[in-house]
Structure 1
Amino acid sequence: MAPALAKGTGSEVIAYDRSGEGRSDDVPGPWKAPYAADDLAAGLTQLGITKDVLLVSHSLAGEIATAFVQQHPQATAGAVLVDANLPPFFTDSETARLVAANAPQIASLKKAPQTRATRQILAEAEDYGPVHRAYHALSWPQNIPATAIVSAQTPFPTPADAQLWRQAQQDFVAAAPNCRLVTAERSSHNVPVDRPDVVVSAVQDMVNQVR
């Protein structure tokens, strides 16, 4: 997708592996979005990129985008949030339900031999409840445009969770005048694979908006 985005927008496109993922080093301790946003900011600074950043963030990376825009509003031109974890979703009741639903898997992983993948899952699960209750209180800056792309299927098989996910995306865009919602029809949560055309189109529109 990066080559298509670069060609379609005439912009420099940077993709990277988050800590603990791909070829990046592991970082001990809990995973928290502000730490990941610090990593992203440091990498961009090393590349000499300190302004006009357009974030394209999928799923969990929505939390990184939200942390980044809170910490570096002057560097951020806009964002395309692809079926992303957004603050309105993580109500107290939903966060408690997610913690309870994932508890058996987390307990099993703690007992099993550790791999890089399981270490990352455990890092993301640590303090999940308090972290996401705090995340729920955050809001997107009013002056930074964002497009939220929601998948047709959502990440959840249960109707109640899926509806809350859709509603959270709607609430997110309704809270700021510079935000809009796009639905990726015929798509699972993996929108970049199922509907790359929707992502490319949203990014092109955002580039044109912020230029």
Structure 2
Amino acid sequence: MLKTIAVAATFSAVAGAGFVGHGELTAQTQTETRTQNVVATKTVRHGHLDSFTGTRKIRVNGYSVNVSCSGRTAPREPVVMLMAGAGDGLDTMAGLQSTLSKEDRVCSYDRLGEGQSDQPKGPQTIRDSGKILTGVLDRIAGDRPVVLAAHSLGGLIAGRYAPDHQDRVKGLVLMDATLPALKASILKVIPETATGIAAEVRAQAISVNEGQNPERLVAPDAEVRSAGNIPVQIIKHEAEFGDIPDYGPALEQAWSEGQQQWRALSKRSVLSTAAGSGHYIHVDRPDLAVKAIREVTCQAAAARW
């Protein structure tokens, strides 16, 4: 059953207890997050921007949203926003944030329905989730450029958000992002007549994609749109579906094809495979995640905007 949850998580971004290493990361990063929380919150001004270090709740569109920020504050330089997958709070990004913030300003947040943020009042669309992200970025980045570094469902949201906010999003890193046409990919690979674990994966992935997830987010299939001529790095897992009888190789192929589709975000998109990694790339290969985010951030900083 754990493998079923883990595989469904890969396709639909539901956090699963079956991921190797995820539990260890959570234990470590919860400690780091608690440490950040007790750091005295220091507020400084950059125009109309409130900049702080630590974790605090901010009000966005009538909701309480949990936000964590760390690292140096430098006007006009990119702010990195980390976005976790569904079922995950910002604590799962704490280790990555701690490393990145040694050189850059880095923030993360709990989307509605996740972590310590409020529950949504009803079903959410991608646009609804984007409005919350915009409100958070208004507070923590002001008019500075932003690099979105996102995992799983966070990657789907980031990939849909960037094309509509090209004035703000100047770089993207997608870590095993949920497929842009998830439902079609599942139906193509696993037929309705499937049984056992394959049938469970099919049912779970489709139902979650239709709003049965912690965020109540409905994310229908859609084509990938251009986000402009920005640096984009797409990192996919090496292996995740080998234990699914009859359908493992086809699922891996569908996942690879879906990651290829994300390249349409930019002519500067680069797709790579994280050797030795499962779905949680920032856990299994944090070195690759850090390298990709720093490269994109440097490229975004060097660009004229």
Identify which of 109, 119, 132 aligns with 1:26: 119
- Computed over aligned residues only, the root mean square deviation of the Cα atoms, in angstroms, reads 2.9
Q: Which moved more, 1:74-83 or 1:38-47?
A: 38-47
Identify which of 84, 90, 96 aligns with 2:182: 90
Q: Report 1 or 2 for greater relative contact order, CA contacts < 8 Å, sequence distance ≥ 6.
A: 1
The aligned counterpart of 2:203 is 102
- Taking structure 1 as reference, are residues 93 and 207 closer, same or farther at Cα in structure 2, changes over 3 Å only? closer
Q: 1-side partners of 2:241 and 2:118: how far apart?
A: 28
Q: How does 1:71-86 map to 2 (within 5 A)?
A: 71-86=164-179
Q: How does 1:35-114 map to 2 (within 5 A)?
A: 35-87=128-180, 89-90=181-182, 92=184, 94=186, 101-102=202-203
Q: 2-side partners of 1:155 and 1:191: how far apart?
A: 15
Within the alignment, does 1:17 sit opposite 2:110 as a pair? Answer: yes
Q: 1-side partners of 2:241 and 2:170: how far apart?
A: 28
Structure 1 unaligned segments of length 5 or more: list them: 108-117
CA shift, 1:97, in A, is 6.6
Q: Which moved more, 1:139-148 or 1:198-207?
A: 139-148
Is the helix fraction higher in 1 or 2? 1
Conservation of the 8 A alpha-carbon contact between 1:41 and 1:68: no
CA shift, 1:140, in A, is 3.0
Q: Deviations over 1:35-56 (max 9, x none)?
A: 1111111011123423310000
Structure 2 unaligned segments of length 5 or more: list them: 1-95, 193-201
The aligned counterpart of 1:189 is 279
SS of alignment partner, residue 120 of structure 1: coil
Within the alignment, does 1:179 sit opposite 2:269 as a pair? Answer: yes
Q: 1-side partners of 2:225 and 2:213: how far apart?
A: 30
- Taking structure 1 as reference, are residues 166 and 193 closer, same or farther at Cα in structure 2, changes over 3 Å only? same
| Residue type of the alignment partner of 1:102 | A
- Percentage of pairs with the same residue: 29
CA shift, 1:91, in A, is 6.7
Q: Deviations over 1:96-150 (max 9, x none)?
A: 778962269959xxxxxxxxxx7627x24x5x5xx22xx2x23232412210011
TM-score by length of 2: 0.55
SS of alignment partner, residue 204 of structure 1: helix
The aligned counterpart of 2:51 is none
| Residue type of the alignment partner of 1:190 | Y
- Taking structure 1 as reference, are residues 17 and 98 closer, same or farther at Cα in structure 2, changes over 3 Å only? farther
Structure 1 stretches of 4+ moved >3 Å: 89-100, 103-107, 154-157
| Residue type of the alignment partner of 2:227 | P
Q: 1-side partners of 2:297 and 2:254: how far apart?
A: 30
Q: How does 1:115-130 map to 2 (within 5 A)?
A: 120=214, 123-124=216-217
CA shift, 1:33, in A, is 2.1
Name the count of aligned residue pairs: 190
SS of alignment partner, residue 181 of structure 1: strand
Conservation of the 8 A alpha-carbon contact between 2:163 and 2:228: no
Q: 1-side partners of 2:267 and 2:160: how far apart?
A: 20
Conservation of the 8 A alpha-carbon contact between 1:145 and 1:178: yes
